[in-house]
Structure 1
Amino acid sequence: MSQIGNNIKKLRKVKGLSQQAFAELFGLTRGNISSYEEFRAEPRIEVILQIAKYFSIPVAELLEKQLTVNEILNFEDYFVEEKGGKNTKNLAQIPFLGREAFQVDQGGIGYLADLPQIYFPAYSKSRFMAVENSSFIPRPVSFPFEENAVLFFEHVEVDILHTLHKHFGLYLKGDVLFFGQYEVEGKDIELVLNDWKKVSFTAEEAECFWKLYAKFEKVF
């Protein structure tokens, strides 16, 4: 049985694309994508080739196997695949925000629990999230990370507040997201985007603050 419908749906979710946005990438309609995902039709071969090329996925895999999140992200050589197995016991399961999630008209970021998950060797009891660096995300002028690098963030808890000064971080509240740099003066903590935008850390908004933990960049 062809897996193209399952894989189109998974590609959309991992990349944060609505059916309409996915359709527009390949000159299709939202109804086309819906029919593929519900197994009422299959795309023409030229469309399959376009999808495979766009997402850098072998055509045979797109058609014949259910792709994992790590395969879609081309992380399979580095991270354990989504469903996990005996090797995932000591790895953190982390929600992943891809670059497409921040483009205009994608319907917002949504809940972290609804995002695709990857496994990562983060040996800590803290919560983590991963974000694909993108020009769509506001960041300080000094932000040093390459486009498409995957940045891993640790949730800010009380016991790491003293480590924040001058470290890069992430603010996420609803559909508002930006990278910034922490400034700590006494008990006052701010995540600074630039001279005009900054947010103060408070107990009431603690859920919105994250500290950069690690980065992943492919070397070609």
Structure 2
Amino acid sequence: MSQIGPNIKKLRKVKGLSQQAFAELFNLSRGNISSYEEQRAEPKIDVTTQIAQYFSIPLQDLLHKSLSVNEILKFDDYFEPKSSLKNSSFKNIPFLSKDHFQELEKYSGNLELLPQITFPIFSPKQFLAIELQHLVDHHIDFSFQEGAIAFFKKLHVGSLHLIHNQFGMYYQEDTLFIGKYFVEDKKITLALNDWQQVIVNPEQLEHFWRYDGIFQQVLD
């Protein structure tokens, strides 16, 4: 039995995308995504291939395997047998816990002043992890569980054409919010809501981050 519908729903949820946002990534309608998730229809093979490539999921796994959250976030590949964990080289990532949000001005956006957590993300890219709480200003479509840890990857010029309708974070001195990127012509904005947004300046990308994934408990 095909797993494409349940896997699309799980991909969308883990990546924090609404049905509309997911649909726009692949030139589909929200109704298309709804019908796939409810298994009333299946996407064409070219669409399925695009989804697999976009999220770096093997096509056969997307079609026939019930993907786990760890597989979607690429964590499974990083864990080794328990006996060899001591030899692993996990990534140290600057970490903003809920306590740090009370004194953002103390760190002034300097990641070197933050404590670090060790996590199995093997990538040369720069990451920032934050402990989510509803006091953090966030876009209305960005859903999360209180206390979950979200990972953000530093935005770079080569990925600017891929960030439309993607979630991201702006962090500079005492200002931090999670918004959604919008690309129109050559203008890129990160919007928190209809009234607050910042223009992405390619010369100041150190303040902009792209949402990469989330780690949270699965509640019964």
SS in 2 for 1:172: strand
The Cα shift of 1:211 comes to 0.2
List aligned pairs for 1:17-166, cutoff 5 A: 86-88=87-89, 91-103=90-102, 106=103, 108-110=105-107, 111-166=110-165
Equivalent AA in structure 2 for residue 117 of structure 1:
Q
Unmatched segments (≥5 aa) in structure 2 = 1-77
Aligned mates of 1:130, 1:150 — CA distance in 2: 6
Tell me the residue number matched to 1:182: 181
Structure of higher RCO (CA pairs closer than 8 Å, 6+ residues apart)? 2
Aligned mates of 1:98, 1:159 — CA distance in 2: 29
Aligned mates of 2:184, 2:158 — CA distance in 1: 17
Q: CA RMSD in A?
A: 2.2
Summarize the Cα distance change of 1:163–1:122 in structure 2 as closer, same or farther, 3 Å threshold. farther
CA contact (8 A) 2:157 2:202 kept: no
Equivalent AA in structure 2 for residue 87 of structure 1:
S
CA contact (8 A) 1:101 1:108 kept: no
Select the structure of larger CA radius of gyration: 1
Tell me the residue number matched to 2:207: 208
CA contact (8 A) 2:153 2:210 kept: yes
The Cα shift of 1:162 comes to 1.6
CA contact (8 A) 1:102 1:109 kept: no
SS in 2 for 1:218: coil
Aligned residues: 136
Aligned mates of 2:104, 2:191 — CA distance in 1: 26
Q: Identity of aligned pairs, percent? A: 39
Aligned mates of 2:139, 2:104 — CA distance in 1: 25
SS in 2 for 1:184: strand
The Cα shift of 1:178 comes to 0.3
SS in 1 for 2:179: strand
CA contact (8 A) 2:172 2:207 kept: yes
Unmatched segments (≥5 aa) in structure 1 = 1-77
SS in 2 for 1:113: helix
